[in-house]
Chains A and B, each alone.
Chain A
Amino acid sequence: MTTLQTAPEKAETVVRREALYFAFRNPKLLGGLAVVLILLAVGIFGPILDSGDPFAYSFTDAIQSPSGKHWFGTTTFGQDVFTQFVAGLRTTFEVGALGGGLTAIIGMVIGFVAGYRGGMIDEILNMLTNIVLVLPALAVLLIVNAYLGVRSVGMQALFIGLTSWPWVARAVRAQTFSLRTRDFVDLARLSAVPTRKIILREIAPNMSSYLFMTFILCFGGSILIASSLDFIGLGPTQGVSLGLMLQNAHQWSALTLGMWWWFIPPGAGITLIVGALYVANVGLDEVFNPKLRET
């Protein structure tokens, strides 16, 4: 009996160790992760070290190009761009984590239920998924934001989650569909394990790597949608985000005034975070999928 119980566990740790082995040798994963972690550290610890108010006006310091005093220069109103950038990074990560997390969770729940239950429930959920899928998310967010005045990071993330889950649901549903007729799932069902437990204990762990990668993609996508919303003028009214910085720079014509230090850092920040996430994701794919490994 003991051998029977330990054998799968041992196999599992071997698989995990193998994944770790390849993870530490994958330049894409390590590089992408390093960039994200560095920016995350700046976002978390930056505001503690650089305690300046991102909105502090200073007319003596207005329109300065980058220097030792102001690393990224100052805006038309003498606000320090670096202080704003650091505070904006934090907001951007928050939106990514909350919005991406919510997108992934809603998509997974609907995908699991539709794929596992099948039949009528699947038909209805599938129809719902297809409808939300063709509705352009930004257009819906536009009207919701305009009317309800969604003006906090949390609300922004909530609505991003509510509108961008369908592709996750579709992908998870397809995967669940292929797993639900496997023997171990049948066995669990015969042992009268409740549905919720079968999904959580039997099905989800078998696609955990896939789910994790989905979350990373949602994280990046959520950051991009949020920055677009900020840019249109539907961002959070309190605080800074990288998208709001871009909006301000555009609104006060930093472009025609040649103040490149105002609009380069926020866009570069978003591109770095999202790009690093995508590259890390490709690395993860190679770690989990032996077929893709470069030999």
Chain B
Amino acid sequence: MRRYFGRKLLIYGLTFFVAVTINWMIPRFMPGDPVASMLARANVTQPAAYEAMRSYYTGLFGLDQPIWQQYLNFWGRLLRGDFGTSIYLFPTPVSTVIKGAVPYSIGLVMPSVLLSWVVGNWAGAIAARRKVLDNTALPIGYVLTAMPHMWLGVLMAWGFGVILGWLPIAGGYSFSMRPSLTWAFAWDLVVHWFLPFLSLFLIALGGWAIGMRNMIIYELESDYSNYLSALGAPQRLIRRYAFRNAVLPQITGLALQLGVIVAGALVTEIVFSYPGLGSLILNAIKNKDFFLIQGAFLFIVLGVLIANFIIDIVYVVVDPRTRAGMVAGT
């Protein structure tokens, strides 16, 4: 088990290292003078801001220093939590800007991922080997997985927001409200949260249900299931064994899907102008705010790595074989 976690941590560490290196490398491999072109693209009009950014960029890139020194400096800044200064929200540090957006993103992604995983597995397990359910659930599942996230978001906003007028379709809370610890504000948050949550939940649901259905069918055809039914075990018991085995690949699947989930959450936030990382990135791209993009990139990578590690721990808890060290795990 120590080996299992050691290997995982090594991979995650290396991944983070690669991500930081990409982050460092890309501006330097950009053709031309990075400082000048960034300033030109940033389109800053305030002279004070221009000067500050110019000296900041030059200092940051430290182009007069040898390349390894630049690289080490980059890491040094990063470890001190210094991601640079945002351009479109000029004097605010990138880390502060991101910290303001992250709670919204997590509040959106976590519940929708967990709930869609649980409900999807449950629906898939029921659909397996039940003809009528299977014939209705499967096509719906395929349509849901094939939908681009932003389109379902737009459809939801159109249906529930514009036509029915039930729910607001933009922002994290009403413009007339100020963030405060009151019930009215909390309710406002929930109302704005619901539609983006629902569209993320629905899209992921289809994939989990299909995956579970296929796994359950596979398990029900395996030798141990046949053996159990030959012994005369009740169908319920066999299905329960099948479910426990089928859930394992679904946990691994959750880890593999994290990238897709993050991407989906980003575009869904943009559809609903939800004040999370997605909208932040959109604004950063529009305003050519490169430091904000880089900071958001690192935060996303870090979030995905942490989520991966949590899933690894869950996997060890759920699958006794990894604990016994019989398999090394992948």
Cα–Cα, bound, A278→B282 (Å): 30
Does A260 touch B at the CB level, under 8 Å?
A: yes
Contact between B282 and A143, CB atoms less than 8 A apart: no
Task: Please determine whether B297 and A139 come into contact, CB atoms closer than 8 angstroms.
Answer: yes
- A147, CB-defined interface residue at 8 Å: yes
In the complex, B48 has a CB within 8 A of chain A? no
A249 to chain B, nearest CB (A): 8
B148 in complex: contacting residue of A167, A228, A249, CB < 8 Å: A228
Q: How far is the CA of A277 from the CA of B221 in the complex (A)?
A: 27
Q: Could you tell me which residues of chain A, from 99 to 147, have a CB within 8 Å of some CB in chain B? A: 127, 130-131, 133-140, 142-144, 146-147
Select which of B15, B154, B267 is within 8 A of A135 by beta carbon: B15
The stretch among B21-29, B71-79, B89-97 that forms the contact with chain A is B21-29
When C-beta atoms are compared, the residue in chain B nearest to A264 turns out to be: B155
* A residues less than 8 Å from B258 (CB atoms): 134, 136
Q: A266 to chain B: which residues have CB within 8 Å?
A: 151
Task: Find out whether the CB atom of B145 lies under 8 angstroms from the CB atom of A127.
Answer: no
* Complex contact B150–A231 (CB within 8 A): yes
Please judge, given known A-B contacts A136-B263, A147-B26, whether A260 and B158 are in contact too, CB under 8 Å. Answer: yes
Evaluate contact between A136 and B285: CB separation under 8 angstroms.
Answer: no
Per-residue contact bits, chain A 280-295, to B (CB 8 Å; 1 contact, 0 not): 0010000000010000
Task: Mark contacts of B276-309 with chain A using CB atoms, 8 A cut-off: 1 yes-contact digit, 0 otherwise.
Answer: 0000011011101010011011001100110010
Confirm or deny: A246 has a beta carbon within 8 angstroms of a beta carbon on chain B.
yes
| Neighbour of A231 across the interface among B19, B152, B259, B270, CB < 8 A | B270
* Chain A residue at minimal CB-CB distance from B221: A291
Q: Is the CB of A258 within 8 A of B162?
A: yes
Q: Closest chain A residue to B278 by CB distance?
A: A232
B232-263 Cβ-contact flags toward A at 8 Å (1 or 0):
00000000000000000000000110110011
- Chain B 164-184 interface 0/1 with A at a Cβ cutoff of 8 Å (1 = within): 000001000000000000000
Contacts of A275 in B (CB 8 A): 142-143, 145-147
Chain A residue contacts of B157, Cβ below 8 A: 255
Least Cβ–Cβ distance between B67 and chain A, in angstroms: 18
* A131 near B294: Cβ-Cβ < 8 Å: no
Q: Does B122 contact A (CB under 8 A)?
A: no
Q: Give chain B nearest CB distance to A10 CB in angstroms.
A: 31
**Nearest Cβ in chain A — how far from B97, in angstroms?**
16
Interface status of B12 (Cβ within 8 A of chain A): yes
Q: Chain A binding site: helix, strand, loop or mixed by DSSP?
A: helix
Partner among B15, B158, B162, B264 whose Cβ is within 8 Å of the Cβ of A131? B15
Give the interface segment out of A18-26, A68-76, A208-216, A219-227.
A219-227
**Chain B residues near A270 (CB, 8 Å)?**
146-148, 151
B contact residues around A278 at 8 Å (CB): 142, 145-146
Q: Is A279 engaged at the interface, CB distance under 8 Å to the other chain?
A: yes
Give Cα distance in the complex from A138 to B12, angstroms: 18
A16 at the interface (CB under 8 A from B): no
**Is there contact, CB below 8 Å, between B162 and A233?**
no
Partner pick for A250 among B271, B297, B301, CB 8 A cutoff: B271
The reply to whether the CB of A2 lies closer than 8 angstroms to some CB of chain B is no
State how many angstroms separate the Cβ of A124 from the closest Cβ of chain B: 12
By a CB distance below 8 angstroms, the chain B residues around A93 are none
A273 surroundings in chain B (CB, below 8 A): 146
Which one, B267, B286, B304, contacts A134 given CB within 8 A?
Answer: B304
Which residues of chain B are near A246, meaning CB under 8 Å?
148, 150-151, 154
Question: Known contacts A134-B308, A167-B256; is A271 also within 8 Å of B147 by CB?
Answer: yes
- Are A139 and B27 within 8 A (Cβ)? no
Residues of B within 8 A of A47 (CB): none
Asked if A228 and B150 make an inter-chain contact with CB atoms under 8 angstroms apart, the answer reads yes
- Inside 8 A of B162's CB, which chain A residues have their CB? 255-256, 258
Q: Which residues of B contact A272 (CB under 8 A)?
A: 146
Measured CA separation A227–B152 after assembly (Å): 13
- Asked if residues B262 and A139 are in contact (CB atoms below 8 Å), the reply is yes
Question: Which 8 residue pairs of A and B lie closest in terms of their CB atoms, listed nearest first?
Answer: A267-B151, A275-B146, A138-B263, A136-B259, A274-B146, A139-B300, A147-B26, A143-B297
A136-B263, A138-B263, A232-B285 given; 4 more Cβ-contact pairs under 8 Å: A136-B300, A143-B22, A243-B148, A267-B152
